[in-house]
C-alpha cells in the first residue's frame, strides 16, 4: 500500500491507473478505523480495480464545543489495518493540504442538511458536503463507498452527487454492529463501562419501533413518542427519533412504504446515532 500526504502525489498515482484503464473505488474516513470501516474497504475492492482510502479529521464538520481536538487519531494502527485489508493507496493529508488559509467556498445541500443532526449541529453537513466534494475532485473515483450508519450523511452525499452531476456511483454498506447490537463507531471509545451496557438500547428502541410499524396497529407519532420516552427512561438524553421516508427524510405518512427510522441520543458525553431502513409492504 502506498501512503501519500499531498494532492499531487495522490493525483499522480490515480492518473496512472486511469490511463491504464483501471477503475477506482474510494472510501473517505476520519480514521480510528474499526471493523465497519474495513468492511467498506472490502466492498470497495469488489467494485473497482483499485481502492483508495483517505484519513482526514475534517475541522469544517465540527461545531463549537465539539470533539475535534479530542477525536481519536490512531494513524499508525490504521495504516497497519489497511495494509492487511489490501487498500492500494492511503491518502493522509494535513489540514493545510486540504484547506487554503483564505478558502471562501462552502458546498451546501440545503433542505436535508437542516433536519435532524443538521438541526442539532448547525453547519455540520456543509462541512461534510464540502470535504466530500473536494475529495471527489482529488480522487475522481468511479465508485465511492459509505456506511449506512449515518443515513442522513449518505442522503446528503447522494443528493450532492445528483445535483452536481458527478460521475460517481455511491454505494451504501450495511452497518456493522457489536455483538450487543451497538453500531460500531469511532466515538464508542468515549463510553464508560456502565454506558456500554446501556448504549445498545438505542438499537433496541429502533427494533421495537420497526416491529410496531410492521404490526400496523399504532400511528407513527405515538411510536416516536414511546421510543423517546423509553430512551429517556433508560438514561439517554434523546435528540430525535423519527419515522421518515428513506428517499428524502421527510416525515413518513401511513401510506409510505420505503421507510427509515432515525435516532440520535446523548449518553454521558457521547452522542450516538443509529437507524433501521426497511420496506413496509402494502
Question: What's the pLDDT at 282?
Answer: 56
pLDDT tens digits, one per residue of 257-279? 999 999 999 999 999 999 999 99
Give the tens place of pLDDT for each residue, 55-67.
999 999 999 999 9
188 band by pLDDT with thresholds 50, 70 and 90: very high
DSSP, res 59: G
- Provide the pLDDT for residue 281: 78
Residue among 221, 175, 220, 222 nearest 202 (CA): 175
Asked if the model's pLDDT at residue 217 lies above 90, the reply is no
User: Which residues belong to the active site?
Assistant: 37
Characterize 223-260 residue by residue with b for buried, 16 or more Cβ atoms within 10 angstroms of its Cβ, and e for exposed: bbebbbebbeebebebbbbbbbebeebeebeeebeebb
With a CB cutoff of 8 Å and minimum separation 6, the contacts of 55 are 29, 30, 31, 33, 75, 78, 90, 91, 92
Instruction: Report pLDDT for 128.
Output: 98
Report which DSSP code applies to 243: E
Q: In this structure, are residues 14 and 140 in contact, taking their beta carbons and an 8 Å threshold?
A: yes
Contact in structure between 186 and 71 (CB atoms under 8 Å): yes
Question: How many angstroms separate the CA atoms of 123 and 104, rounded?
Answer: 15
Q: Which cell numbers in the block locate residue 201?
A: 438500547
Sign of CA dihedral 7, 9, 14, 16: positive
Average pLDDT over residues 214-225: 94
Q: Give the model confidence (pLDDT) of 37-51 as tens digits.
A: 999 999 999 999 999
Rounded distance, CA 106 to CA 154, Å? 18
CATH of 186-279, one of 1.10.10.10, 1.10.10.1100, 3.40.50.150, 3.30.1300.10: 3.30.1300.10
CATH of 2-173, one of 3.50.50.60, 2.60.120.10, 3.40.47.10, 3.40.50.620: 3.40.50.620
pLDDT in tens, 85-141: 999 999 999 999 999 999 999 999 999 999 999 999 999 999 999 999 999 999 999
Which residues are 264's β-sheet partners? Answer: 240, 273
**Whether pLDDT at 73 is above 70:** yes
Delimit the domains of the chain by residue range: 2-173, 186-279
pTM of the model: 0.96
- Helix (H) or strand (E) holding 10, with range, is helix 7-19
> Are 2-173 and 186-279 in the same CATH fold?
no
Q: Mean pLDDT for the chain?
A: 97
Calpha distance 239→124 (Å, rounded): 16
> Hey, which residues does 240 pair with through a beta bridge?
264
Amino acid at each position: 500500500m502506498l501512503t501519500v500526504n499531498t494532492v499531487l502525489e495522490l493525483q499522480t498515482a490515480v492518473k496512472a491507473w486511469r490511463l491504464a484503464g483501471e477503475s477506482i473505488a474510494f472510501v473517505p474516513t476520519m480514521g480510528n478505523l474499526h471493523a465497519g470501516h474495513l468492511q467498506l474497504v472490502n466492498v470497495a475492492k469488489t467494485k473497482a480495480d483499485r481502492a483508495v482510502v483517505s484519513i482526514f479529521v475534517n475541522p469544517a464538520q465540527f461545531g463549537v464545543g465539539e470533539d475535534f481536538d479530542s477525536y481519536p487519531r490512531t494513524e499508525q494502527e490504521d495504516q497497519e489495518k489497511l495494509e492487511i485489508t489490501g487498500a492500494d493507496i492511503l491518502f493522509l493529508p494535513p489540514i493545510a493540504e486540504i484547506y487554503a488559509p483564505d478558502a471562501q467556498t462552502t458546498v451546501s445541500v440545503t433542505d436535508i442538511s437542516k433536519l435532524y443532526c443538521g438541526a442539532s449541529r448547525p453547519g455540520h453537513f456543509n462541512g461534510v458536503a464540502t470535504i466530500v466534494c473536494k475529495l471527489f475532485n482529488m480522487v475522481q473515483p468511479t465508485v465511492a463507498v459509505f456506511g449506512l450508519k449515518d443515513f442522513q450523511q449518505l442522503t446528503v452525499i447522494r443528493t450532492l452527487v445528483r445535483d452536481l452531476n458527478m460521475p460517481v456511483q455511491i454505494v451504501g454498506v450495511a452497518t456493522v454492529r457489536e455483538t450487543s447490537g451497538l453500531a460500531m463507531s469511532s466515538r464508542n471509545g468515549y463510553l464508560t463501562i456502565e454506558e456500554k451496557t446501556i448504549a445498545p438500547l438505542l438499537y433496541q428502541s429502533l427494533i421495537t419501533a420497526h416491529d410496531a410499524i410492521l404490526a400496523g396497529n399504532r400511528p407513527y407519532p405515538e411510536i416516536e413518542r414511546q421510543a423517546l420516552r423509553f430512551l429517556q427512561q433508560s438514561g439517554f438524553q434523546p435528540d430525535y427519533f423519527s419515522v421518515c421516508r428513506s428517499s428524502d427524510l421527510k416525515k413518513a405518512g401511513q401510506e409510505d412504504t420505503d421507510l427509515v427510522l432515525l435516532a440520535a441520543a446523548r449518553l454521558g458525553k457521547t452522542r450516538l446515532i443509529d437507524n433501521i431502513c426497511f420496506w413496509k409492504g402494502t
